Every structure is written in C-alpha cells, then in structure tokens.
Structure 1
Amino acid sequence: MKFIDDLLGGLFPRKDSKVSIKENFNFSGKEEAQVASWMDSEEGRGLMKTIYDNYHLKIAGVNKQPEVHVLHSPYANGFAVSFQEPLTPSDFGNLFIGWGLGMPELGYRKVSLDRKIEESNEQVKVTEKYYFKPPLSAGDLNSKIDQLFGNVSIEKIFINNRPSYLKVLATVYADSLYHEAAPFDRFMDQLFNQD
C-alpha cells in the first residue's frame, strides 16, 4: 500500500509537508555598483557604524535598535542583525550585498551565492547566502595554511516575504594543517571598515 500512499501523498500533500528549493544566482554588475556607492555614502557608513556600535554594546549587555545578537563558540563566531528601525528593506538588501562585496578585500574568495526557499507549516522562509573561503594554500609544504578568520557565510533571511534578520558567521578550521584563526574582533573591524 506504500505505492498508493505515495501516489495520494503527491496528489494531496499533507498540511505539515515541507517544500525546499535551492538555486544559485548572481547580482548584476549594475546592482553591485549601486550598492558599492551606497556603502560609501554617508547613509551607508552611518548605518554600518550603528550596527558595529550595537554589536559592542550587546557584548556589554546593552540592547539598541537594530538589535545585534552575538554568536560565540570555540569553532564559530558571528552576529545577527534583526530587521528593526532604522533599517529599511532597501538597507537590508544593501548590507547583505555590500558585506559580500567587501569579502575579497579581506582576502576571501566567493565559493557560492544561493537562495533556498523552504515552506513548512504554512510559513515560507527564504535564505539568500554567500559562502566564502580563505585562499587555502601554503607557501611551501612544510608550513601551515593561513585560514584568516575561517570560512565565512553571510545570510539574509525573509519569513513570509518580510525581512527578518542578517547573519554573518565565521567558522574556523580546527585542523593542525592551519594556523590559528585571526581574532573575530579584527574581522569585525575590517568588515565594518573600523581599522
């Protein structure tokens, strides 16, 4: 009867069924140029400073809008920014693309840019994600590999077609082939042009 159940399940999916679609995509050169200009504008720099300051305030136990959540573990460090005032939907997208555009300056290469659409329990979650890796090569076979800050992912999350949060996560290599990852605070300074 499994065949009949599978057939009926395909024709009449249960309400708790999950749908997941993943696709690669790219931004146009025009979009990237507009975002690069915005990131260098007074508005863009001001918003970057607000988020950078709110990250450090959160570490000190103070919450300000937009709220920044600190992610810290032995193998991964990062932050998430809630979609709250003064962020606009346009700012939300610009920050995502802008942080992605800044990663090559930190020594990273883009591995992928993808979009995942998941439907579960009548909720649709869309995740756009950049994934970056350091240049994984040693000058010679006897030296360790510089992992910079580890692998970096940058995510933009929408829930039911509404901006929810941005997340940046650096995951370190714990292998003896690699140098210890550089401090995450230095990554924050460089990502936010505060060094």
Structure 2
Amino acid sequence: MKFIEDLLGGLFPGKNSKVAIRENFSISKEEEDKALGWMNSSEGKAALKRIYDNYHLKKAGVNKAPEVHVLQSPYANGFAVSFQAPLSKADFSRIFIGLGQEILGMGYRRVSLDRKIEEVHDLVRVTEKFYFKPPLSAADLDNKIDQLFGNISLEKIYLNNKPNFLKVLVTVYADRLYLKAAPFDRFMDQLFKAD
C-alpha cells in the first residue's frame, strides 16, 4: 500500500509538501561579454577589490559591507558575499557571471549550470549554480593528476526574488591519484586578479 500512498501523495500533495524544481539553463554570449566588460571597468574592479579586501578583513575579525563570510575546512574552502550596499542587483548578477568566466580562464571546464527553485520556510529560494572541474586527463597513468585548486562551485541565491548571497566553494580531491591542491589563498588572488 505504500506505493499507492506515494503515488497519490505525488498526484495530490498535502499542505506539508515542499516544491522543488531543478532545471538546466544557459547564459548568452552577450551576457558573458557584458559581465566581463563591467568587471574590467573601474566600477567592476572597485566592487571586486572591495569583496577581496573584505574577505581578508573578515579573516582578521573585521566586518565591512558587503559582508563576506569565510568558509574553511580541511577539504573545502570558500567564501560567501551577502547582498548589501554598495552592490546593486545588476552587480550581483555580473559578479556571478564574471567570476564564472574567470574560473574558466584558470583552466577549468564547466560541468554544469543549473537552477533550483524550492520552497523553504514559506520563502521561495532560487539557487543558480555553476560547477567546474579541473581539466583531468588519464593520458599518463604513471603520474598523479593535477587537480589545480580542486572542484569549484559558484552559487547565486535569491530569496523571494531578491538577491541574498553569492557563494564560492572549492573542494579538494583527497585521493592518492591526485597531486595536492594549490593553496586557497592563491585561488583567491587569481580569481580577483590580486597577484
């Protein structure tokens, strides 16, 4: 009878059921070009420098707007940027697309670009996510594989159609088949062109 209950529950959901939709989507070449143009403008460079500086200030215990949250563990490191002034809604999207292009420029390949729409505590959360992997090759099985910095996810989160935060997370391979990942601080320097 469990099968019938599950089937009926899917056809006639109760009050407690949550909606979750996942879909692939694409970003046009024009959107990418506009985002990169903005990132290379004085306004874009200032916004990126502010985020980069606020990341380092946060590590020292100082909060500045937009607030940056530091994510650290032995196998994953990253940061999240809260949507706050002086960032605009347009900046939020440009940074998301532009950072994705910067990651590709580091030698990564984009594996997916998807959007998840879900109901969370009476809010609608939309998460747009890039997922990147290093250019792995098994051409020479005698050598370890260079994982660069590890796998990278880049997320843009909206709550009730309002920007909430951007998150970048780098997860390293702990497998003996891979070379040790490059340091996360170097990733930050390259991502924000601070080196």
After superposition, where does 1:78-97 map in structure 2 within 5 Å?
78-97=78-97
Using the alignment, how far apart are the partners of 1:45 and 1:62 within structure 2? 22
Distance 1:7 1:139, change over 3 A: closer
Using the alignment, how far apart are the partners of 1:159 and 1:65 within structure 2? 19
Q: Secondary structure at the match of 1:46?
A: helix
Q: How many residues align?
A: 194
Letter in 2 for 1:191: L
Distance 1:23 1:8, change over 3 A: closer
After superposition, where does 1:170-185 map in structure 2 within 5 Å?
170-185=170-185
Q: Any runs of at least 4 consecutive aligned residues in structure 1 with deviations exceeding 3 A, and if so which? A: 1-11
Extract unaligned runs of 5+ from structure 2. none
Q: Secondary structure at the match of 1:35?
A: helix
Q: Which residue does the alignment assign to 2:158?
A: 158
Superimposed CA distance per residue, residues 14-64 of structure 1 (whole angstroms, 9 cap, x where no aligned partner): 332111111111111111111111010000000000000000000000000
More deviation, 50-59/103-112 = 103-112
After superposition, where does 1:41-190 map in structure 2 within 5 Å?
41-137=41-137, 140-190=140-190
Using the alignment, how far apart are the partners of 1:166 and 1:135 within structure 2? 24
Q: RMSD between aligned alpha carbons?
A: 1.6
Per the TM alignment, residue 160 of structure 1 is displaced from its structure 2 partner at its CA by: 1.0
Superimposed CA distance per residue, residues 112-138 of structure 1 (whole angstroms, 9 cap, x where no aligned partner): 101000113321110000000001125
Q: Which residue does the alignment assign to 1:7?
A: 8
- Percent identity, aligned pairs only, is 66
TM-score by length of 1: 0.94
Q: Contact 1:15 / 1:121 at 8 angstroms: preserved in 2?
A: no
Using the alignment, how far apart are the partners of 2:108 and 2:31 within structure 1? 21
Q: Contact 1:138 / 1:144 at 8 angstroms: preserved in 2?
A: no
Extract unaligned runs of 5+ from structure 1. none
Q: Secondary structure at the match of 2:170?
A: strand
Distance 1:8 1:44, change over 3 A: closer
Per the TM alignment, residue 7 of structure 1 is displaced from its structure 2 partner at its CA by: 3.3
